[in-house]
Amino acid sequence: MTTPQLSDLPAETVDVVARWNPDAVARLKSGGPAQRGVLVAGPRRAGKTTLVRRLRALDAPALAFVEDPLDAGVVLMVLDASAPLGREELSVLDVVARPACPVVFALTKTDLHRDWAGVRERNRTLLARHAARFADAEIHPVAAGGSGVEAVLAALQRAARDEARDSRPAAEAVLEQTRRMIAATARSVRETEPGAELRAERVRALTLRDGGRTERVAQLRGQVQLAKVELLHEVASQVRAAGTSARSEIDRAGRGTLADYPGRLAEIVRERSGAVDTAVTGRLDDLRSRVGVAVSDPEAAAPLAEPVVPEGPEPRHRGLEDRMTILIGASAGLGLGRLVVSPLSMVPALDIATIPLTLALGAVAAWWLTRSRAHVAERAHVRQWATEALVHVRSQWEQFVLARLLAAETRVSEAVIAESRVAAREVDERVARIDGELRRLAARRSGQLSSCERDLAAVDRGLQEVRRPAGEPNRRGERLNT
């Protein structure tokens, strides 16, 4: 009886196998043996890599080392001579060695441990207790110099030949190997979520969609309030400085200077207005830089409008104090005149002259005292007027500061909103591109899974054909060759 060949299978199954496993198809067509791999297992730091390197150096072309237990024809279990095997080694052995798979045992590092023979006997006992098929297992000692590697190689070759004689038909083995490859690919596609980086980028883009508008507007409001406090404090400072200068000048001013003082106060206000304008411009520039918006300020080029200083003080009305000053001055002048001319009364010839002289001196003293009192009252009047005028000037300066702040806040807010709209548009475009890429990846993933499912179905149909008993007709109504 002959075994079914790959050419006896449906055409779609042959195409799937040729696409997924071309090397196996080529071996089948050339009549070569099916590939049987050797899986090397064992605990960590047991010398597996060194042993495999030495086995490769012995030129064993019939042996191919694999990593998947499903592809293994023989298992090479590497044990460490430092201690008997434990739960870790036994659990690894249960995972990699299927019931029908032969296992070759090697004990490494025998040159480093004197009691390696006792460890080997203990391992034999433990293996016999673990599984009946390991009751007569032979454990080959391997030293660092390379002794014992030939025995391991010979045992592997014998086990590979024995496994090949008892193995399944070549076509069935190729189909199962191809099925594992397709299933592993489908599993990898399902477990791998495509576009994770794109979705993370999409989340980041949507988080920053407004370009930080909320934060920047909040920062703008805070900066505007801080600038308002600072600039109003600057206005108050300039008003105090102007008031100090005005009071100092008024206290030293003569009558002519007092008459022209409204012009002098207007000059002081103009000087202080320049300082206020400079402070406002500098603070607004700092505000824009802190918010991160570059906007033109058409009002910055125009200097601060000169505040309107109220007209000069009204003429001072003479009141009761002025009349009382005249009386007091006349009384004091008469007393002073009598005191001055009292020596003349001793001379009889000059006694008649004391009366007019006393009256003249009294009139002069009354006039001087009244004039001095009027000068002092005029200074107080002008000082009061200057204080009221500076209050009016301060209100104009504060109005100017608040107007500039409001205009700057409006322009900066408009610039922030405009930049936010541009950023939102760019983010929307980027998100649209990301969504399109995600849809493409999802469609590609779905297509890959569908293709894997179709290929698995084709391979399963081929396995059914291979495993169908001889003489039973297949789907096409044909009978397998016998």
If you average pLDDT over each of 128-132, 447-451, 462-466, which comes out highest? 447-451
pLDDT at 379: 82
Q: Tell me: the pLDDT tens digits for 73-96?
A: 788 888 888 888 888 888 877 776
Lowest mean pLDDT among 113-122, 132-141, 278-287, 366-375: 366-375
CATH fold group of domain 6-172:
Rossmann fold (3.40.50)
pLDDT score recorded for residue 480: 42
- Stronger pLDDT, 121 or 11, i.e. the higher one: 121
- 50 pLDDT exceeds 80? yes
Query: Which pLDDT does position 276 carry in this prediction?
Result: 87
Residue type, 386: A
**Above 70 in pLDDT, residue 472?**
no
Average pLDDT over residues 188-199: 80
Q: Where are the beta strands (DSSP E) in 84-224?
A: 103-108, 139-141
Q: What is the mean pLDDT of the chain?
A: 77
Q: Which residue has the higher pLDDT, 333 or 142?
A: 142
The per-residue pLDDT for 481 is 42
Radius of gyration of the chain from Cα atoms? 56
Record the tokens describing residue 463, joined without a space: 């396995």
**Average pLDDT over every residue of 308-327:** 65
- Tell whether the model's pLDDT for residue 161 goes beyond 70: yes
Where do the domains of the chain lie? 6-172, 213-337+350-420
The pTM of the full predicted model, rounded to 2 decimals, is 0.49
Q: Can you give the pLDDT at residue 477?
A: 46
In DSSP notation, 394-449 reads: HHHHHHHHHHHHHHHHHHHHHHHHHHHHHHHHHHHHHHHHHHHHHHHHHHHHHHHH
User: Which has the higher per-residue pLDDT, 445 or 60?
Assistant: 445
What is the Cα 51 distance to its own chain's centre? 50
Q: Which residues make Cβ contacts (< 8 Å) with residue 473, sequence separation at least 6?
A: 479
Which has more pLDDT, 297 or 44? Answer: 44
pLDDT reading at 179 higher than 50 = yes
Instruction: Give residue 70's pLDDT band: very low, low, confident or very high (50, 70, 90).
Output: low
Q: Is the pLDDT of residue 191 over 70?
A: yes
Percent of the chain scoring above 70 in pLDDT: 76
User: Which of 103-107, 167-171, 371-375 is least confident?
Assistant: 167-171
